Amino acid sequence: MTRMLNLKLRIWRQNGPDSEGAFLDIDAPGIPEDASFLEMLDVVNERLISDDIEPVTFDHDCREGICGTCGVMINGQAHGPEKATATCQLHMRKFNDGDEITIEPWQATSFPVLKDLMVDRRTLDRIVEAGGYISAPTGTAPDANEIAIPKEAAEMSMDAAACIGCGACIAACPNSAGQLFTAAKLAHLNVLPQGQPERWKRTEAMVETMEDFFGACTNHGECHEACPKEVPLDFIAMMNRDYVRSKVKNRSLASQ
């Protein structure tokens, strides 16, 4: 038999980035323990609508831990109490009957609140737009084995590409630093042969765009702990090394 939970929710309500926000206390009885966290919010919203109260706005899309659009602070933790789990994959069995759950949007000045629990994460897009691509000449498709890729490089690239861009690393960091996100987006291209032609230009552009919006990294490590895909901290060290090298290499190229 499915266990039913009777919960007390404190949900952040805010009309927009220029509005004052406040917590709304909501009783949420009869929540199935096998419901996901977002399904719980769906149930709450259905009840609010039936009471002629505006539903709570929150971000979601795939609900499979892939798209990265979900993500809230749950009792002060990005994505909630279960490690390596996105909000959409967190299940209510992780909570106890009678629990009080505080639900807030990402807490970072670079992520202004659009409404309630939804934030504007377009600053992440700007980092990728600054250089997160490789040149792909058009024409006949090359043979699959034309470019040899070492197994270690392929595995490292896949580890970096696991980043879903949810922003939990930034929300969890006391400095609101964007290093782990940026490092992951750099590494999954920089370690591959196809990513070498633009490696130094890419690194300089993406790192300096990141610095326009986010704080500095002071090695707290909260970014890795909050990451639902457990992106390794090693990528930050790789990014820092490549950034120093890019300043030298790009200056040399400019003088030619």
Over residues 70-88, mean pLDDT: 97
pLDDT tens, residue by residue, 123-151 = 999 999 999 888 877 778 777 677 889 99
Over residues 201-210, mean pLDDT: 97
pLDDT at residue 240 above 90? Answer: yes
Per residue, what are the HEC states of the chain?
CCCEEEEEEEEEECCCCCCCCEEEEEEEEEEECCCEHHHHHHHHHHHHHHCCCCCCCCCCCCCCCCCCCCCCEECCEECCCCCCCCHHHCEHHHCCCCCEEEEECCCCCCCCEEECCEECCHHHHHHHHCCCCCCCCCCCCCCCCCCCCCHHHHHHHHHHHCCCCCCHHHHHCCCCECHHHHHHHHHHHHCCHHHCCCHHHHHHHHHHHHHHHCECCCCCCHHHHHCCCCCCCHHHHHHHHHHHHHHHHHHHHHHC
CA dihedral 176, 179, 180, 185 (to 10 degrees): 130
User: What value, to the nearest 5°, has the Cα angle with vertex 117 and ends 111 and 120?
Assistant: 30
The pLDDT of residue 150 is 92
pLDDT at residue 226 above 90? Answer: yes
Over residues 62-73, mean pLDDT: 95
Q: Which amino acid is at 218?
A: T
The pLDDT of residue 144 is 67
The pLDDT of residue 220 is 93
pLDDT at residue 256 above 70? Answer: no
Please tell me which residue, 140 or 118, carries the higher pLDDT value: 118
Over residues 191-210, mean pLDDT: 95
pLDDT tens, residue by residue, 165-196 = 999 999 999 999 999 999 999 999 999 998 99
Which residue, among 63, 77, 68, has the nearest Cα to 107 in the 3D structure?
77
The pLDDT of residue 98 is 97
User: Could you give the domains of the chain?
Assistant: 4-115 (3.10.20.30), 121-134+148-255 (1.10.1060.10)
pLDDT tens, residue by residue, 84-97 = 999 999 999 999 99
Mean pLDDT for the chain? 94
Beta strands at 4-13 and 100-104: parallel, antiparallel or unpaired: parallel
